[in-house]
Structure 1
Amino acid sequence: MSEPMTGGCACGRVRYTAAVEDDDAYLCHCRMCQCSTGSVSIAFKSVKRADVQWNGEPDWYDSSPIAKRSYCRECGTSLGFQFKEGSDNMDLTVASFDDPSRFVPKHHFGAESMHRAWLNTEGLPEKRTEDYQPLVEKWVEATGKFPG
């Protein structure tokens, strides 16, 4: 049974509701995704295109001859990926969901471009945002409080 889940961009101009069937997600490491996002990988949740309703239409970038990507032109948030033809599915970026915590990575894609040093970072020092005083001070100066 599907569950409606909401998401959108950082500035709120683009919002969506998607019918989500399960918790399965994946990490894509292909060079097209790396170049399009500026990251070593991106987390995606595959959904049926017909099950995504946009409230505030996203912008679309033709990222290759076979695919396009949804994003917000105002804040730059990457929202998804879809083939131009031949698929009833599309991918939404896991981080663009309002509550991405339910999703679990089930596989890697584009393994030929994987940067393995970035996969298992267990044991590296961990720093919490609120413990970095210069950042806290900037937030307080700009808004009167630290978000959280």
Structure 2
Amino acid sequence: MDKPYTGGCACGAIRYSIAGEPFFSNHCQCRDCQRESGSGHGSYATFARAGVTVTGEAKHWDMVGDSGNAKTRGFCPLCGVAVYMTFAAMPDIFTIRAASLDEPARYRPQAVTYAARGHGWDHLDPSLVKFEGMPPG
């Protein structure tokens, strides 16, 4: 069995363990991710929900994406760190913030999403595939 991906918030109140490999890893330059990260992008790894175990009680807040569907962000009520996202339209996936990994070096971005909203000062790997918005289904 492969080594699980583990991680959580800064204070340790929220923890996760994920069996399996991410099926998509990206830097997202949409305005929502810029605001949440306080930077030019958010970095994410997306997994099948079936392999995910979360301990601790996260607080949640919803926002509506460009698709019109809700995305729910889970964060720690103690330290405030955003840890994961789920999507109402895609209940079988679970997305974690790359910086929440215990071993962030395991993160391997594949693409940049919402590159059209990126800023010139946010220099990302130029070899990554760039999508103006979300990649096609």
Q: How many residues align?
A: 121
Consecutive unaligned residues of structure 2, counting only runs of 5 or more, are 126-137
- TM-score, normalised via structure 1 length: 0.72
Change (3 A) 1:72 1:43: same
Residues 125-145 of structure 1: per-residue CA shift (max 9 Å, x gap): xxxxxxxxxxxxxxxxxxxxx
1:45 Cα shift? 0.5
Asked if 1 retains the 8 angstrom alpha-carbon contact of 2:52 and 2:94, the reply is: no
**Per residue, is there more helix in 1 or in 2?**
1
Who wins on radius of gyration, i.e. which is larger? 1
Name segments (4+ residues, structure 1) moved above 3 Å.
Answer: none
For 1:10 and 1:27, the matched residues in 2 are separated by 21
State the TM-score, normalizing by the size of structure 2: 0.78
CA RMSD of aligned residues (A): 2.1
The answer on whether the counterparts of 1:25 and 1:45 sit within 8 Å (CA) in structure 2 is yes
Quote how far apart the aligned CAs of 1:27 are. Answer: 0.3
Give the SS at the match of 1:43: strand
Consecutive unaligned residues of structure 1, counting only runs of 5 or more, are: 122-148
1:59 paired residue number: 59
Identity %: 33
Partner of 2:9: 9
- In structure 2, the residue matched to 1:30 is 30
Matching of residues 1-148 of structure 1 within 5 Å: 2-21=2-21, 25-64=25-64, 66-119=70-123
CA contact (8 A) 2:5 2:19 kept: yes
